[in-house]
Amino acid sequence: MPPGEFDIIRRYFSRRQAHSSGVVEGIGDDAAILHPEPGYDLLAAADVLNAGIHFPASTPPHAIGYKALAVNLSDLAAMGAEPLWFTITLSLPESNEAWLSEFSRGLFAIADRFRISLVGGDTVKGPLSIGIHVLGRVPEGMALRRDGALAGDRIYVSGNLGDAALALTRGAGDNPGARYLRNKLDYPEPRVALGEKLRGVASSCIDISDGLAADLGHILEASGKGAIISAALLPLSDCYRTEVTDDLYRLALVGGDDYELCFTVPGAMHYRLEDIADELDCEVTCIGEINDAGKLEISDTDNANAILNARGFNHFN
Ligand code: ADP
Ligand code: MG
């Protein structure tokens, strides 16, 4: 007989060890009891992944578990927050032990790496959907926000852009290039350590979930600024450069799912970035500058306007 709701929770989601302190009562009662330390602001974020919309139905359950938490950790990273606790709302079409086992393995692989504790959730029958709420903390008043960019600040991005979106346009090929791209789509790396180091250094920050143009656009809108970025400076992987033969910059500008950070840094802080990147072994690339023009302009590509008019991925379009 397949396991029922309580067996599922006990077998696959209840674990004794808590990574972060402050868990007075975790899974088991009607609500978790959490005890934040004084001197910190608490940050909350949530993201839902629905099968067929946010991930292809063919995605392996291990990757679904990993990614459901990774995209939430990415939101904490964008705020400069240290991950603490999370809850999960699982809607499952059936009680399938092989699926649950792989899913929870992927989920806890990343939870352990980022030392975040599962403290509760809900388990129901329905179409496959995974909702996660994360809680994190920053020293009081130190959260990175979208609205602090000033004219003259340099614009940086972490890692490479466009690989995840490129993976979606490729089939399930079994060659090194296809595997690399698939991995970037299924196992994004939340830039939590980078976010934490950027506290007091970056003037604004966002994670790139809907594409650089759309997400940098959010910084510009919140800050009431414009920007010029150079397409030629966008960090593209070797694989991306090999695979994309025309319209080289389009996916890097408007493709989603990269979960890299885009942030702005005032002149006095530029010198800090090299050290931070070295220390973390995470590449950061300057791609442009904030200005007072009130719009995003892209140099070094003939069809910037066509690319920008197509915009990032919008869920209701
Ligand atoms: P209630 O009926 O009060 O909603 P549940 O029976 O749904 O309680 O859940 C019992 C306990 O198990 C609660 O502490 C809840 O947070 C936790 N829980 C439920 N589903 C999960 C899950 N998938 N992972 C972790 N904890 C869960
Ligand atoms: Mg419940």
pTM: 0.94
Task: Count Cβ atoms within 10 A of the Cβ of residue 175 and give its class: 0-12 exposed, 13-18 middle, 19 or more buried.
Answer: exposed
Nearest CA to ligand 1 atom 18: 121
CB atoms within 10 A of CB 90: 25
Round the average pLDDT of the chain to a whole number and report it: 93
Select the more confidently predicted residue: 161 or 301: 161
State the DSSP H helix or E strand holding residue 90, giving kind and residue range, or none if neither: strand 82-92
Examine the pLDDT at 314 and tell me if it is beyond 60: no
pLDDT in tens, 72-125: 999 999 999 999 999 999 999 999 999 999 999 999 999 999 999 999 999 999
- The edge-to-edge listing of strands for the beta sheet with 226-230 is 204-207, 261-265, 154-158, 284-291, 226-230, 296-299
Is 119 near ligand 1, meaning CB less than 6 Å away?
no
Question: 30 in ligand 1 pocket by Cβ < 6 Å?
Answer: yes
- pLDDT tens digits for range 229-286: 999 999 999 999 999 999 999 999 999 999 999 999 999 999 999 899 999 989 999 9
Q: Which atom of ligand 1 is nearest to the CA of 120?
A: 16
Give residues whose Cβ lies within 5 Å of ion ligand 2. Answer: 122
Would the CB of 143 count as within 6 Å of ligand 1?
A: no
Residue 16 confidence (pLDDT):
67
Alpha helices in 224-310 (DSSP H): 238-243, 250-254, 270-280, 304-310
pLDDT tens by residue, 186-240: 999 999 999 999 999 999 999 999 999 999 999 999 999 999 999 999 999 999 9
